[in-house]
Amino acid sequence: MSSRKIPFFLITGFLGSGKTTLLKHILETFSSQHRIAVIENEFAAGNVDSIDLQLSTQPYKIVELNKGSVFCVCLLPEFTKVCGELARIHAPDAIFLEATGLADPIAVAQVLRSPPLDELLYLAHSYCIIDAVNFTKQEKAVTRVAHQVRIADTVLINKSDITEPAVIRRVEERVRELNPWCNTIQVVFCRFPFPSGSITGLLPLDKKDAGGSPEGRPDISTAVLRTTGKIRMEDLERLLCFQGDHILRIKGFVHAGEEPDRKTFAVQAVYGSHNVKEVKGYTGPTELVVLGKGSAPHEWEKRFTAACF
């Protein structure tokens, strides 16, 4: 097996939003050309979604993790074991996790950064599926629905064909409040054209690889920077510029300044170009996730610690 890390794709969304439908679409599109592993996570002991997938004729490896969320301590050891076995024994081109609809995945990057997963996987992309008809009442009732949106790279607004346009506009506005940098797509049955028509189009490739076929799995390192403190804006600017276009992505939320003038910002950086936008309502800690080629996580952690107060 290649020593390079395997891309890990996360699929979240509240109960009934369409996660399994998206996964079936992915398998139909990519499994004949790529080795794909699927982890099915059910909160209950049942396995309805995995049975639904197994009715497909597409080739793939599936593993079930039931009776809890993989992001909870109750299943974390088993999740780590399963990911390790998938990577070492089956050597897939990509791993997709369909998380339970009750999952709170706000710390998923931290989970993947923990040994031994940090040597095997990297978080390539996070999808969140929204049930456009019911999103407003779901978000008000269940905090983790908002968390699923916050960590998403792409938010699929599903059931758009049976939702009033005014409702969809309100949903999109709320998604932007929660996550200003995500890509939003209105979909029906979770179908949309994947970038470049290839699984490689879903990966954060180096510029020189864009549009082509990469050699082997991308050698990606991940740093998770978290603090309950604050950071000075000028130090944040310097941090975002560190290593320039070697950085594939920096994403997260930052508390800056001191009370009563403290503000919270959503941060997004790609290949040395970055954007910082003030947001309201985020109550979690300052947290940045860094994905880069050839970057040393310990160096990022040192610089981040020095910038915080």
So where are the chain's domains? 6-209, 220-307
Give the three-state DSSP class for 207: helix
| CATH level 3 topology of 6-209 | Rossmann fold (3.40.50)
Residue 193 carries which DSSP code?
Answer: P
6-209 with 220-307: one CATH topology? Answer: no
265/180 Cα distance (integer angstroms): 10
Per-residue pLDDT tens over the stretch 84-108 = 888 888 888 899 998 888 788 877 8
Whether the CB-CB separation of 179 and 279 falls below 8 Å is answered with no
Q: For residue 144, what are the CA distances in angstroms to 34, 40, 41, 96, 278?
A: 32, 19, 16, 20, 22
Give the three-state DSSP class for 212: coil
112/114 Cα distance (integer angstroms): 5
Helices (H), 12-75: 19-30, 48-54
Look at residue 178 in the predicted model and tell me its pLDDT: 92
DSSP 79-127: HHHHHHHIIIII--SEEEEE--TT---TTHHHHHHSTTGGGTEEEEEEE
Residues with pLDDT less than 50, the chain: 1-2, 43-55, 57, 67, 203-218
- CATH 3.30.1220.10 describes domain 220-307: yes
Per-residue pLDDT tens over the stretch 109-148 = 778 888 888 889 988 889 999 999 999 989 988 888 998 9
Q: Is the pTM of this model over 0.75?
A: no
